[in-house]
Structure 1
Amino acid sequence: MRMKYFGFILLIWVPGGLHAQSDAEPCSAPKLNGGYFVPEHETYSHGTKLQYACNTGHKPAVEGWWATSTCHRGEWFHKPQCIDENACILPTIVNGKYEVPQEGWFKNGRRIFVTCDKRYELKDKAATAQCKNGTWSSLPICQKTRDTCSEPPKIPHAVVIRQQYQELFAADSQVEYRCEKGYTMEEAQRNPIICMGGNWTNGPNCTSRPVTGQGGSAEVGTPGSDTTSAGGGTQSGGSRPGTGQGGSADVGTRGRDTTSAGGGVGRGSSTTSDVRLTTTTIDNCVSEPVILHGEVVYRDEMQLKYACVSFYTLVGEATVVCYNDGNWSQFPTCKEAFCVMKPRAYTHGLTTHGPEYINEGHGKHIPCIWAYYSVVVHCANGVLSYTNCCSSYDHNRGLCPIIGTTS
């Protein structure tokens, strides 16, 4: 029997992985009732991929007539297992879930009860399926609810704010846009779009506009200068810490500090006039601050409060106020706070077709080529960590450790 299948049952070694993990714990030869693998050794090195097949009347507990298991730090993933050919493997229910038995497969005659994920519903209200002689009866289908909306429309030169990306949105969900720097939308379009009856209401248009500067008046001089007058003449000097933002109404300047002596432009001889900064209403400042990757989330007549869009974090004071010299307080900035999983070979069984973005401090499941198998990636301090391809059962029980990191 074994010689008959010798041409199909392979033991695959991965030299690169074995070299990098040469110190990792090896695996003992797995016990496989009702099946076989070749060649047979007492131990297998970390990273070894073992293919096996099952005897007549049995089949692997995963899709296909042969299967692959990988040695990872002393454990096999998945565990090699041959089951009765009339039993059923775990079915794939897209956007749905069911209770998985501990053995990882279903006996002949067993039924499953499917519940759909949020914003999905059962087609024709059919929720059950039965294992019959190794195959499943008609499996339940989870479809998008009729009043649910797909992702909001992409609008040129605009980003969605205060909303994590998701594929589906519940009825009455609201999504707000902000135009990128250098573009603006009409006041009448500044309302969020709404999911109604499975469709989004009309979105805004972002049109280009001239970029205006920030700051005070240039009627008399440059804010922050320090002018001294003696004997009727004037001479300029450097600004002084703590006084460069002062203002003197007597000469009509903003952020200016004036000292006069001996009949100069000041009101008195040998006197110094320092006007301290105080906050005032925001309409006294010109050009509302535009912060890259940030937007105003709160405003009143005395202040603006900023927040950053997804994948960015705020650096500095969130609240900005207007001073009586016509200038804003220091602006915050939005710093990148995410990791990018670029398309490349991370682990066997994972195929990425484009970059995956993960928020700082968050994790994400990325599906592998096998049903119910995935890689878990996590972003912490700008470093991306990832596991091997593991089943949901193994992930939930902490049996799928981190195998690599990338920044």
Structure 2
Amino acid sequence: MSLRYLVFLLLVWNPQVLHAQSAAQPCPAPSLNGGFFSPGQSAYNHEATLSYACHDGLKPAGKGWWGTSRCQNGNWSPKPQCIDEKACVPLTIPNGNYDASTDGWYGERDRIWVRCDEGYEHKGRDATAQCINGAWSSVPICEKSTESCGDPPKIPHAVIIGKGYQEVFAVNSQLQYNCEDGYSAEGPDTKTIICISGNWTEGPTCKITQSCAEPPKIPHAVIINREYQEVFVNDSTVQYQCEDGYTAEGSDTKTITCISGNWTEGPTCNANCGDYPSVPNGDVVQVNGISLKYRCNELYTLEGPDIVTCQSNGTWTEPPSCKAAFCVIDPAQTTMYDIKLSAVEYIKEGLQKFIPCIWIDRTRRVQCIHGRMYSSACCTSYDHRYIGCQSEGRIQN
């Protein structure tokens, strides 16, 4: 394979190289009135440099008695030019500027007026320069004003906003500081300083705001979308997510916020055990995380533990039962035919009641013991209290 063919393949394979070569245009020989250049040829490659000199009475439009120019993609920079030897080339005024000539040079007796940058002033009040016999006379100097200020003070945990760095600031310049996140100045977070008679006014002090320590550790929950850190500034938020098999009230995710140095309340992650176990004649009276507390209805006694817990396998521990703790006297079914009773009567376990008999001023004393009804005979209240009344023992409820 020939070298020419290999170069062709590389250019085809990498069109960017081909484009770069085609974009770099050569330069034709420049026209130069009153001078000559070397090397003398009809065209020059991109980046080629030529030197030129001027005939008597003329000089290059730059410093020195000869000049140089470079081919930049079809154009010469700077353009080769011969000017009157009494003309002047542009000045460089540190910290100052003036109106540029459209020709790129200044003729004999031309004058320029220099403007100093902000914060600088003319030394000796000299603001003009004049071109005389190819040189500038009395070149103005821009020096720092005695009313100007230097670097503004560096304040811990603060940054200057809205202004780029510079070494000198004019009188009455204003700069604004902004405290970093987690810090605040007295009043607003932003404070202004002013340059007065060469000195800056006092800057702000950025103090740490009320912050929170590590967020609380919540059982069966993890913090998401937040890297570990020891201190959280005011209004910081942290988001929790319950682990698989557990849910928080509302949704699996809950956010807490740092307010005045304290975290708001976090979520409680409950295991997913489904519906609460049903306990006849009983109700859930308290929910604490993954635990339930039961209580039996009136006239019923709880048997077994009153706390039921959701286990990690998704099942509830054994619920309690509510056992009847009362006796019933039903007028339609009772064997006590000598009592007057219009409705069903309930007697709580361990308690006794006096049921009126069909005889005036006589009652039966009935008592519920272990779910069984015991009764006395029909006696007067005096007999019940002082003499005693014969017991008939257990009766049919």
Could you tell me the TM-score, scaled by structure 2's length? Answer: 0.49
Pair member with larger Rg: 2
Could you tell me the TM-score, scaled by structure 1's length? Answer: 0.48
